[in-house]
Amino acid sequence: MTISEVENTSLIKKACSDPGAFAQLYLMHYDNVFHYCMRRLFNRHSAEDVASTVFFKVMHNLGSFDGTVIDFRSWLLRIATNAVNDHLRDAKRRTDVIHRVVTNTRTQSVFVIGCNEKLLEKKALLKQALLSLKPKYQTVITLRFFENMKLTEIAACLGKNPSTVRSWLSRATAKLRKKLDVAVNSGGSKL
Amino acid sequence: MNDNEKYIEEFVKDIPFDAPDQKHRDELKKQLISAFPKHRLEPTVHTVEVWRIIMKSKITKFAAAAAIIIVALIAFHFVGNPLGATVTFADVIEPILNARTVVLDLVVGSEETGLVVHDIIVGSKIRRTIPNMGIAIIDLDNARMLRLDPPEKSAVYINIQGPFQRWTKSYLGIVRDIVTDMENHPEWPVQELGQRWIDNQRAIGFFLSGPKIKLTIWADAETAAPIRIELQMGRSQTIIKNIEFDVPVDESLVSMDIPDGYTLHEKELDYTDFDEQDFIVVLQFWAEHVLGGNFPDNVSAEDILKVAPVLRQKIDQLNISDEEKMQIGMAMGRGSMFFRRLVGSGADWHYVGKGVEFGDANTAVFLYRPKDSDTYRVIYGDLSVKDSALKDLPK
């Protein structure tokens, strides 16, 4: 481990009993957790709700974390993944999410900086296609293409074998591509 | 990366997402801090050089004989601790050192896969129940064991003088020895691990380590009663849990008398002597009768404990006399003792039998260096044994 990693590992331990250290740890990771939730849920309010849930879970379970800072990101993303999947598991909520996506696809958020109409349309298509996949496929797509994690890192994060993750990723990318192709060719009306 | 992955990577490139909102981040931070668990607002880790103080103390000369004095010394040190933990190491080890009756579960190996043994300890006697292996009542003072086989209603006395007596002691006794022995090792610091939830109880932890020993004790943060003890000795891991101290125990459970309805085996067994040949019997029987001619993937104390019921079952199935079955069983018991002594001695040993077929005279399955020896003993797949210098060991 580097000196910085050692210091951060020490911070994690300290954060178990020191609110100030926990606040520092929280600020170091808030953006990453929010981004992950945002890319999974495509909705700011849902992402903020789930990010809140994630950090409360982290606070209550930090004592059980006994790894290093290198493992901490995986641990954090595993908690975030479970929280996002819990959020999506409710069928009604999932329907609502997709409904909001469909009815709100071209609304530009005030928090999105410097983007054009074409990218917003692509984003709308991606939202619809991705949210129609099973949560586990959404998870591996997000971890692979937005978090830029390697197969082994995703496997460690999800507690699965790399071969399982490879299989999920293969199916997920094939399904997503098929859906995106259809959507692109139909202008987004067939998903 | 295949075509689909390239396609998606290209598709998602540059797609914009909302940036985090500073207001939400700050608001959540406030909520988290205000909800921070109050019971955790305590120091997490500080090293206590208890033993250095003990060794400098004039009281030390009186302390050697009585563990209770160690407790008093530790208590003295902790009382003066400005960090003010309410539960001290002295409080935690007090029942370990002094309880007359203890009931506990012992997990040999990892929590998920280890063998669970149930012990009832009354003074120097132990009633040990091992799944599928029957009951052993051990009288440590008299170096004798009464082995009961409930399904067969049979009983046999076993002489456990010598090393077996030492190893048969309760694991709590081992913990007691380590804690007591710390007096002689000022270089073994006690570390407070802070608090965490263990088995739905708020627990405070203490850790100490010496050469090849790591001991962690988690105790109830309110009562100081130990609730979980993790002991790592070399490569062997043991967890003691579901612990109850000084509970009323029916003393007939540790009686060395033959229970009503049981038949006593006329010959007393003897585990006082064992050697490499006994261990070879274990390897041979394991490979020949359990694994169809292949040596096991791994051999550890935990593996031997786990396979023991299967070995016993296979012995019972042999078409030989009861006396011969007993001889094989005895040899395997002694073989286990040999292995345990080897592991406990800190000797350099390696099991390399994974994938080796029984009878393979060219491939080593086990090698070890006996104490005070310059050469290694190498056991091959045909169970031949050769001495070998370090440089000549099989790759």
How do residues B222-268 score in pLDDT, each as one tens digit?
888 999 999 887 767 889 999 999 888 888 899 999 998 998 876 66
Query: Cβ B43–A13 below 8 Å, yes or no?
Result: no
User: What does chain A come to in residues?
Assistant: 191
Summarize the confidence of residues A34-51 as an average pLDDT.
Answer: 91
Enumerate the residues of chain B whose CB falls inside 8 A of the CB of residue A59. 32, 35-37
Summarize the confidence of residues B148-162 as an average pLDDT.
Answer: 83
Give the pLDDT of residue B67: 28
Enumerate the residues of chain B whose CB falls inside 8 A of the CB of residue A121. none
Q: Give the pLDDT band (50/70/90) at residue B111.
A: confident
Query: Cβ B8–A180 below 8 Å, yes or no?
Result: yes
Query: Cβ B9–A47 below 8 Å, yes or no?
Result: no
Structure token pair of residue B97: 């050192």
Give the pLDDT of residue B335: 85
- 3-state percent helix, strand, coil for chain A, nearest multiple of 5: 80, 0, 20
Q: Output the CA angle A79-A85-A89, nearest 5 degrees.
A: 145
Strand partners, B213: B210, B233
Q: Give the pLDDT band (50/70/90) at residue B48.
A: very low
Written as one letter, the residue type at B96 is: I
Q: Which of A35, A55, A60 sits opposite B28 (nearest CB)?
A: A55
Q: Tell me the shortest Cα–Cα distance from A112 to chain B, in angstroms.
A: 5
Query: Cβ B16–A176 below 8 Å, yes or no?
Result: no
Query: Cβ B8–A113 below 8 Å, yes or no?
Result: no
Determine contact: B6 vs chain A, CB below 8 A: no
Task: Outline where chain B has alpha helix (H).
Answer: 3-12, 22-34, 50-56, 60-63, 67-79, 89-98, 163-168, 171-181, 276-285, 301-317, 322-344
Q: Tell me the shortest Cα–Cα distance from A89 to chain B, in angstroms.
A: 23
Enumerate the residues of chain A whose CB falls inside 8 A of the CB of residue B5. 144, 169, 173
- Residue predicted with more confidence, B320 or B64: B320
CA dist B150 and B245 (Å) reads: 27
How do residues B367-386 score in pLDDT, each as one tens digit?
999 878 889 999 999 999 99
Determine contact: B1 vs chain A, CB below 8 A: no
Determine contact: B23 vs chain A, CB below 8 A: no
**Alpha-carbon separation of residue B193 from A154, B87, B234 (angstroms):** 31, 12, 22
Of B226, B218, B203, which Cα lies nearest the Cα of B102? Answer: B226
DSSP code of residue A191: -
Query: Cβ B4–A113 below 8 Å, yes or no?
Result: no
To the nearest whole number, what is the mean pLDDT of chain B?
Answer: 78
Give the pLDDT of residue A5: 61
Q: Tell me the shortest Cα–Cα distance from B14 to chain A, in angstroms.
A: 7
Q: Which of A18, A30, A112 sits opposite B16 (nearest CB)?
A: A112
Enumerate the residues of chain B whose CB falls inside 8 A of the CB of residue A126. 11-12, 15
Angle separating helix axes B3-12 and A117-131, nearest 10 degrees: 130
- Residue predicted with more confidence, A116 or B390: B390
Residue A39 has pLDDT above 50, yes or no: yes
Q: Give the pLDDT band (50/70/90) at residue B164.
A: low
Determine contact: B62 vs chain A, CB below 8 A: no
Query: Cβ B196–A123 below 8 Å, yes or no?
Result: no
What is the phi/psi pair of residue B349, to 5°? -140, 150
- HEC string of A88-134 equals HHCHHHHHHHHHHHHHCCCCCCCCCCCCCHHHHHHHHHHHHHHHCCC
Q: Which of A35, A126, A170 sits opposite B11 (nearest CB)?
A: A126
Enumerate the residues of chain A whose CB falls inside 8 A of the CB of residue B7. 173, 177, 180
Which chain A residue shows the shortest CA-CA distance from B23?
A48
CA dist B221 and B205 (Å) reads: 9
Give the pLDDT of residue B38: 61
Angle separating helix axes B89-98 and B171-181, nearest 10 degrees: 130
Q: Tell me the shortest Cα–Cα distance from B54 to chain A, in angstroms.
A: 30
How do residues B171-182 score in pLDDT, each as one tens digit?
788 888 888 777
Summarize the confidence of residues B126-146 as an average pLDDT.
Answer: 85
How do residues A147-173 score in pLDDT, each as one tens digit?
889 988 899 888 888 899 999 999 999
Half-sphere exposure of B369 (CA within 13 A, CB side): 12
Q: Give the pLDDT band (50/70/90) at residue B134.
A: confident
CA dist A71 and B265 (Å) reads: 56
Give the pLDDT of residue B65: 26
- Residue predicted with more confidence, B283 or A64: B283
